[in-house]
Amino acid sequence: MYLSNLINLDVDFSKLPAHKAATQAVASADYPTGVIAPSTYRKFALREKTELSERVFRFVFDLPTSTSVLGLPIGQHIAIRGTVDDTSVTRSYTLVSNKRDLARLELIIRLHPDATSHRAMRYRKGMSKELGMVGGGTGITPLFQLIRAICEDKTDDTKISLVYANRSEADIMLRKRRDAFAEASNGQFQVHYLLDHPPAGWQYGNGHVDKSVLQQRMLAVSNDNKVLLCGPPGLVNATKHNLVQLGWKEPGSVSKMADQVFCF
């Protein structure tokens, strides 16, 4: 049993060995020197498991040595494979950690049996002047990976506007790290939270990501800008519709890098 046994909710994940796409250090245009390579699987040891909220967990795995890096391009995901009830199962996940992190791989995963589709996003500095982002729930993970890459690169001046929706304040993931990036960015990165059930004294928004929220919080429609979406299908589909109504080009059924609106 490997990492993807996490979809079996009767299994104690902390007792399972880990498994992820990897090999010895590989250098290429698509995969910088690191411990992964396409179509190759390798086991990594689970270091830490933390429950963040109901059915949402943070997993940290050890890479082979104290100086190992993953070598995954920003915006890409990893494939995790295992055997559940005698059936081989593969799931794809976006990382919280990135190629700057030594000796570790970090994931945040909601435990449920449904697979998540990941599109061919490959971020490069300067791909857009501004990035708008709309996330919901665990859909924040690929967006956070890009936020982190941009905010940690002092030569990347891409502006980011994020709207992040959740049911309750307890469901907000990676908040301290994200807010720290926003505070240190001098306005380059701005975040707005939406809750279905806000607590007393809540200083952000409540309700759904509707057209008025997008008008107030998203960047201007431009061929130089993109909007990235990741979250529950209802949120993504409604946001795509509203963005088209606001003048953005409608994306195809499979997102491409050239699209103004990209759906993970």
Q: Is the pLDDT of residue 93 over 70?
A: yes
Judged by average pLDDT, the poorest of 1-5, 32-36, 113-117, 185-189 is 1-5
Check residue 256 and give its pLDDT. 83
**What span, in angstroms and rounded, lies between the C-alpha atoms of 186 and 116?**
34
From 250, 136, 218, 234, select the one nearest 261 (Cα to Cα): 250
CATH number at residue 257: 3.40.50.80
88 pLDDT above the threshold of 80: no
Which tens digits make up the pLDDT trace of 50-69? 877 766 788 888 888 888 88
CA diameter of the chain = 52
Query: Does residue 174 or residue 89 have the better pLDDT?
Result: 174
Of 67-81, 113-127, 211-225, 246-260, the least confident: 113-127
116-125, 167-176, 177-186, 239-248: segment of lowest average pLDDT: 116-125
CATH number at 58 reads 2.40.30.10
> CA 34, 38, 41, 44: dihedral to nearest 10 degrees?
30
Average pLDDT over residues 204-221: 93
pLDDT greater than 90 at residue 141 = no
For residue 220, is it within any domain?
A: yes
144 and 104 in one domain?
no
Predicted local distance difference test score (pLDDT) of residue 82: 67
145 and 255 inside one domain: yes
- Residue 129: band (very low, low, confident or very high) from pLDDT cuts 50, 70, 90: very high
SS3 of 181, please?
Answer: helix
Return the pLDDT at 112: 56
Closest residue by Cα to residue 39 from 21, 57, 53, 65: 21
Whether residues 137 and 258 share a domain: the answer is yes
Q: Are residues 98 and 171 in the same domain?
A: no
CA distances from 92 to 50, 125, 184 (A): 20, 24, 31
Task: Kindly report the three-state secondary structure assignment for every residue of 84-152.
Answer: ECCEEEEEEEECCCCCCCCCEEEEEEECCCCCCCCCCCCCCCCCCCEEEEEEEHHHHHHHHHHHHHHHC
What does the mean pLDDT of the chain come to? Answer: 80
Residue 245 lies in a domain: yes
What digits encode the pLDDT tens for the residues 217-233?
Answer: 998 899 999 999 999 98
Which residue range is the domain that position 185 belongs to? 130-263
Same domain assignment for residues 95 and 166 = no
Contact (Cβ atoms closer than 8 angstroms) between residue 170 and residue 53: yes
Mean pLDDT of 32-46: 76
Please check whether residue 209 is in contact with residue 195, taking contact to mean a CB–CB distance below 8 angstroms.
no
Asked if 18 and 99 sit in the same domain, the reply is yes
Whether residue 214 contacts residue 248, with contact meaning beta carbons closer than 8 Å, is answered with: no
Percent pLDDT > 70 in the chain is 79
